Structure 1
Amino acid sequence: MPRTAPGSEPPYRRIAAEIRRRIDLGELRPGDPVPSARRITREHGVAIATATKVLALLRAEGLVLTRPGAGTVVAPGRTETHGTRRAAERAEPELSRERVVRSAIALADAGGLPAVSMRQIAADLDVATMSLYRHVRGRDELILTMADIALADAPLPAVQPAGWRARLELLAWAQWATYRRHRWLPHVISIARPQMMPHGMAHTEWALRATSGLGLDRQLRWHVAITLMAYVRGIATNLEMRAQAEQDTGLTDDQWVDRQEATLRQMIAAGGFSTMAALTAEGDVDLDLETVFEFGLRRLLDGCATLIERRPEDGVSPGR
């Protein structure tokens, strides 16, 4: 892998600057697609991880956004000129805790948690590594703060909707959307050990308030809240693996399944999996992480509804 010469600009920053210049000059206008990670890889001769960091940096700056079905496009409302952009670059903001954490989040969004190191953050911010420790004590504190900031970027409404089910459903979808934006995040969140994250605790508070006034005891209310959040996190742990597989192969899940279909059918037939063979013969099934998540969430809330509709005198407990 080529190394960056001492004092030179990292390749991903150089490539991002070129795309930024095209946006500033109006060559790429709001809504226009920007080069994909694979196109950047081909045109600039860099690794896919470097190309992904280019797009992550531009997203962090608010220059681009990802639209389902359209890929990465120029964000709306880009009115800065090339001159004002260059002036902003000259007026580099002072190093702060937020800048350190935001840089770390951009690295994690691009390359997962293994990409986050104090040395790499320092290189991205063009500061000495030791200067970062004035703002965070170490990597463990940094990652916990990253998780809390990621949750803060997707705040829950100040007023809860009517009905316990609507409240819990809103919370689950909000968390799912956050995990999709930050695929590393579910690997940080702990269900077994409460973490000192104010914005994470706000999600727990929301879940507990959702079941207030229903006549449930504290055991049931805590179990409903934690089970719901554990379900969302559990499904979301697959998001990073899916993205990595797509990046490595250049194939979507559907494309990969299509290429493996013949081999899969042979394995089913050879292994004597008669039930799988019968269902497969009936036709294709719309089955992906999103449909699994939605199906499971509905069934989980159905189960909660059955539980909530039972009277306290029925002797309901979390283990029954």
Structure 2
Amino acid sequence: MTEIGESTPPYLRIVAELRRRIASGELGPGDRLPSTRQLVRERGVAMATASRALTALRQENLIRAVPGVGMVVAGSEPATPGRGGRAEVRRGPLHAVTRDQLVPTAIGIADSEGLAGLSMRRIATELDVPTMSLYRQVHGKEHLLLLMADAAFAAYRLPSTLPPGWRPQLELLCRLQWSIYCRHPWLAQIVSLTRPLMVPHAVAHTECALRALAGCGLDRHTRLHLVVALANHVRGTAVNLQQGAEAEQDTGLTDDEWMVSQADALGRLLAAGEFPHLARLSRSAIDLSADSLFEFGLQRLLDGVAALVRA
């Protein structure tokens, strides 16, 4: 086995340490391994380095992916590295990957690790196929992201029957979008207002919102800006979901727990008297969350639409 020293690439050091823990029984079959984000935080390496280390262990058949859990120890006997310290990759029979397999796998990785953990190589490892075989189904990562977004919107279909009135219809549409973002926090990072997603199930939301305002007497320019402003509110608020999830995973603290941990720092900041209005607020008495910001902003925007309609 190749000796591990300071000159050894960081990912191989991680591989060696985890392999040792598995071989010694410290990590037994079914035990969960550190996630890529944990490795990034604990070892100070890049996300790609952490992902490469777990991929190497996966190729040695030491670990396996469990949906909704992450990487776990696959068995009690470690695979023996081949010559030169390279792992002997044992794959099952090669099989053609379908788009119906590729897209859900990519979505699962993005849901658990964010877009930073998503790569064609990682998807290929999950599916146990050569990386290049994926390009028979997609042109590249950008194409894959479009398919992922379309699938995410498709899973939350627009109702065939909408409530009467433009406001209930827009409320229903925005809350449906919010549900999609909550289920897939990475989605907000790839949605753009200036370069909208040209995928059927996302475009259908824009069409539905325009239809809701069609009989309100507003010109087309105003209707389009209102629809985009509403979509931007939902998406803009949802950007915080991924950031919050990553921060909670990195620190182990929820938003409320983090605020409690910052009580002393906030107290010192307010003690000088420079922020009297902020000092009067009681954090415990205020429901300030992504959900409350979404709902408050939605209602104020719809109030503005109502004023335009009345005018």
- TM score, norm. by length of structure 2: 0.72
Following TM superposition, by how much is the alpha carbon of 1:177 offset from its aligned partner in structure 2, in angstroms?
0.7
Within-5 A mapping of 1:162-241: 162-241=164-243
Percent of aligned positions that are identical:
45
**Runs of 4+ residues deviating >2 angstroms:** 1-4, 43-51, 53-56, 90-94, 278-281
Provide structure 2 residue ranges, at least 5 long, that are not aligned to the other structure: 1-10, 17-26, 40-53, 55-63, 71-91
Partner of 1:279: 281
Distance in 2 (alpha carbons) for counterparts of 1:273 and 1:55? 50
Equivalent of residue 110 in structure 1, options 103, 109, 112: 112
Partner of 1:309: 310
Partner of 1:24: none
C-alpha distance 59-207 of structure 1, shift in aligned 2 (>3 A): farther
Distance in 2 (alpha carbons) for counterparts of 1:109 and 1:56? 13
CA contact (8 A) 2:189 2:239 kept: yes
Provide structure 1 residue ranges, at least 5 long, that are not aligned to the other structure: 5-14, 19-42, 61-89, 311-320
Distance in 2 (alpha carbons) for counterparts of 1:264 and 1:50? 28
Amino acid at match of 1:57: P
Following TM superposition, by how much is the alpha carbon of 1:3 offset from its aligned partner in structure 2, in angstroms?
3.0
Following TM superposition, by how much is the alpha carbon of 1:97 offset from its aligned partner in structure 2, in angstroms?
1.0
Following TM superposition, by how much is the alpha carbon of 1:280 offset from its aligned partner in structure 2, in angstroms?
3.9
Please give the per-residue CA displacement for 1:136-166, whole angstroms capped at 9, x wherever unaligned: 0101111111111111111110122111000
Distance in 2 (alpha carbons) for counterparts of 1:245 and 1:50? 11
Within-5 A mapping of 1:23-102: 44-47=32-35, 49=37, 57-58=67-68, 94-102=96-104
Instruction: Indicate whether 1:253 and 2:255 are aligned.
Output: yes
Following TM superposition, by how much is the alpha carbon of 1:118 offset from its aligned partner in structure 2, in angstroms?
0.8
Partner of 2:134: 132
Distance in 1 (alpha carbons) for counterparts of 2:269 and 2:182? 32
CA contact (8 A) 1:179 1:186 kept: yes
Partner of 1:297: 298
C-alpha distance 121-271 of structure 1, shift in aligned 2 (>3 A): farther
Distance in 2 (alpha carbons) for counterparts of 1:59 and 1:172? 30
- TM score, norm. by length of structure 1: 0.70
C-alpha distance 253-145 of structure 1, shift in aligned 2 (>3 A): same
Distance in 2 (alpha carbons) for counterparts of 1:113 and 1:56? 19
Instruction: Indicate whether 1:3 and 2:11 are aligned.
Output: no
What do you get for the CA RMSD once the two structures are aligned? 2.8
Following TM superposition, by how much is the alpha carbon of 1:202 offset from its aligned partner in structure 2, in angstroms?
0.4
Aligned length: 244
Question: The residue matched to 1:231 in structure 2 has which SS?
Answer: helix
Partner of 1:29: none
